[in-house]
Structure 1
Amino acid sequence: MKIAIGQIDTVLGDVAKNTTKIEHYIDMAIDKDCDLIVFPELATSGYGLRDLVYQASISVNDKLIKSIATKSLDIDIVIGFAQEENGYYFNSAAYFSNGNLIHIHKKNFLPDYGMFEEERYFTKGTSIETFKTKFGNTTMLICEDAFHVSSHCKAFFNRTEVLIILSASPFWSDYKSMKWEMWENISKTYTQLNSSFVVFANRTGFEDGVGFFGKSFIASPHGSIIKQASFLKEELLITQIDPKDIKRAKIKMPILKNEDETWIKN
């Protein structure tokens, strides 16, 4: 099974131009016989939208969404986009397969600290759901969602086998660590606890002086990074995964069978 990540830069507010780039990367992944391609958070619009959110958001009936859906006849596709729905605006992720939009996740946790202003412009999603794909039980999270234990707990009890994280994570570092190391540590921990793959798709490039570091990766259920993209460069990252690794990981760490699920439903 071949997975691709479209680690791309985006033009703030230019949905048409960003979608053209997305479609180009999809075509490249199709040419490489990939089964799935994942794009970063807000890939159609850019991240720091502020008041641009009202003109850069699109509905699920938009022609650009339908165009991407058509391409999913040849490859499963995940994109992050600013979604308009009944006069509300969401930071959303869409999963396309077999020519159809099969699932949308709306970001639950909207950061409003430091440089982040998402809660000012977007409406919160209210659920984290797991859905069936050809790769198994699949859950999508968007950036800040993945920092919350409750998100992973839901994925755990829903028996997620592929966790897809879309991100527009800006770069920072101190004398002890780099930002991407935090993402690697979080992902490697939960791959082992959940016996799942993690597909982390982060954008790259600069926007209003903010740099997005890239370093997208796929992590195995055994807690290792299978393959990782470059720092600060656009790239089509492609790697092969073995779904049997999920079963092997569950045999190695059979944690879920001992869990009492009743408490999380209350």
Structure 2
Amino acid sequence: MKLAIAQMNCMVGAMQQNAEQILALADQAYQAGARLLLTPELALCGYPPEDLLFRQDFHEANQRALQWLEQRLPADMAVIVGHPHALSGKRYNAASVIHSGRIQATYHKHHLPNYSVFDEERYFEAGELPVVFEWHGVRYGLLICADSWVPGPALQALQAEAQVLLTINASPYHLHKQTTRYQVLRDRIKETGLPMIYANLVGGQDELVFDGASFSMNSQGTLVQEMPMFEAHLGYLTLQDNQPLATDICAPLSTEATVYKALMLGLRDYVDKNKFPAVVLGLSGGIDSALTLAIAVDALGKERVKAVMMPSTFTAGISVEDAAEMARLLDVDYSVLPIAPLFDGFCETLAETFAGKSFDTTEENLQARIRGMLLMAISNKFGSLVLTTGNKSETAVGYSTLYGDMAGGFALIKDVPKTLVYRLAVYRNQLSAIIPERIITRAPSAELRPDQTDQDSLPAYEVLDAIMEAYVEKDLSIDAIVNLGYSPADVERVTRLIDRNEYKRRQAAVGVRITERGFGKDRRYPITCQLKF
């Protein structure tokens, strides 16, 4: 029998729109000869719906959309639809089997993840019973996402005489996630001896990006099918003697390619789903804004991107030249708005108040805040979304200015460490040379005082990023990080800056998550606390 996997990009809360998309995919798959269709976890309402799940009208809209689908799906086709299920005063993360004009069975997710970006225990009750249904002579067991990560639900399906396991997922991307998924499914296959078909969501949802990459494995754990990453796609698979036959397997992407595509998709969906006409960003002549501009143009097209160079007295001539050259190469709308007159005006206004005080970070931050005001003025006038350009390394240690370079609506590379920023820039230039080489090779600088470089205030980024990863993503102690070979002074400095700047990160714009632990829903630290235990 021929099966189809709908790797869908859903809109949270748009139940009728998502139902229409499911119907269109079902009709397409049916015409192609498929008689079973999988949709992702909570495909009907989008994932994650968060506190929308507390609203009665939200569940009523889901029920209407589900009933609408029941009446219209091809009768001789089984469609697995992921949806929230309100029952007897409780809420479940559910998957229903629809065919012959009605729901034939509904499975409730057993294991509710409550870690990292997940908080399903806040919303759902856990199911306990397996669901195995027979269709065209094959017995299928249903699982939902985290149910595949532990033995219990798969073994229950086996005991209920399942012959094939179907797992529907809303599994967000982070670096190297697909390798982990392979291993998890192979563990379940080893335990049950059953082949598995894995359908995953695709698309951007606030800080999360779902990468798709749906796949299938036979009962030996051999990969026999894999769909594209970061693309909506309708894939097909044939079962013979209860085994999926080998078919298309997408070529693996490099680390840099997967991150770049994740950033593109996260930005595109945030802009399009929130109906922004365009984006605007400050182009400084530095590596971070250059990468942000490249991704924005690749994701949205040059017509929807505006770049603004805002030079000050301290801006190097080569920064002005490189920014103009990149804007020319990408053919984007480009403006130069000098901030020196505005800065002088502020300094004059503050002269009496600051009498006797020397130039310090106050004046540095003032320049960043002037730039933030200009970008927000453009945003207000034209409705464009301001993209901030700070990377994860800067965000970690507070090397950024509140209401200045942090001002904006979407922090595209906020989870990209500085060392990876350079790798992504090199990767993008390998596709076509759009980032001037000097931007990549020159020493990074905020250019807020004479002859400034980042390393005046910070350790080398290779060191900073390694300490940040150990402290933020792995929760290692200061002593443990020092034991990895880093100097106590560097470790103390970086971790102290990370701790001190939680208040800044709490006020930062949302941005794409690409690491296993980003700043945001992943890492929820108190601002006011004692961290020396």
Residue 126 of structure 2 corresponds to which residue in structure 1? 124
Residue 26 of structure 1 corresponds to which residue in structure 2? 26
Matches within 5 A, 1:107-118: 107-118=109-120
Cα deviation code 1:147-196 (max 9, x no counterpart)? 111122212322321111010001112xxxx2122222222343354332
User: If the length of structure 1 is used for normalisation, what is the TM-score?
Assistant: 0.84
Instruction: Give RMSD over aligned pairs.
Output: 2.0
Runs of 4+ in 1 over 4 A off after TM superposition: none
> Contact (CA 8 Å) 1:4, 1:238: kept in 2 or not?
yes
Q: In structure 1, the residue corresponding to 2:81 is in which secondary structure?
A: strand
Cα deviation code 1:16-53 (max 9, x no counterpart)? 11111111111110110101110000001111212211
Matches within 5 A, 1:122-201: 122-173=124-175, 178-201=176-199
Residue 70 of structure 2 corresponds to which residue in structure 1? 69
Cα deviation code 1:29-85 (max 9, x no counterpart)? 01101011100000011112122112433589x343233224140311001001122
Unaligned runs of 5+ in 1: 247-266
Cα deviation code 1:76-132 (max 9, x no counterpart)? 100100112233221100011232311100111111111111110112212223233
Determine what percentage of the aligned residue pairs are the same residue.
24
Deviation of the 1:135 alpha carbon: 4.3
Matches within 5 A, 1:247-262: none
Q: What code does the residue aligned with 1:44 have?
A: L
Residue 58 of structure 2 corresponds to which residue in structure 1? 56
Say how many residue pairs are matched.
Answer: 241
Q: Which structure has the greater CA radius of gyration? A: 2
C-alpha distance in structure 1 between counterparts of 2:139 and 2:239, whole Å: 15
Q: In structure 2, the residue corresponding to 1:52 is in which secondary structure?
A: helix
Residue 222 of structure 2 corresponds to which residue in structure 1? 224
Distance change (3 Å), C-alpha of 1:122 and 1:190: closer
Residue 38 of structure 1 corresponds to which residue in structure 2? 38
Structure 1 range deviating more: 225-234 or 189-198: 189-198
Residue 239 of structure 1 corresponds to which residue in structure 2? 237
> Contact (CA 8 Å) 1:57, 1:89: kept in 2 or not?
no
Between the two structures, name the one with larger relative contact order (CA 8 Å, sep ≥ 6). Answer: 1
Q: In structure 2, the residue corresponding to 1:17 is in which secondary structure?
A: helix
Matches within 5 A, 1:76-115: 76-115=78-117
Distance change (3 Å), C-alpha of 1:114 and 1:238: same
C-alpha distance in structure 2 between counterparts of 1:14 and 1:145, whole Å: 26
> Contact (CA 8 Å) 1:159, 1:194: kept in 2 or not?
no
Structure having the higher helix fraction is: 2
C-alpha distance in structure 1 between counterparts of 2:149 and 2:186, whole Å: 13
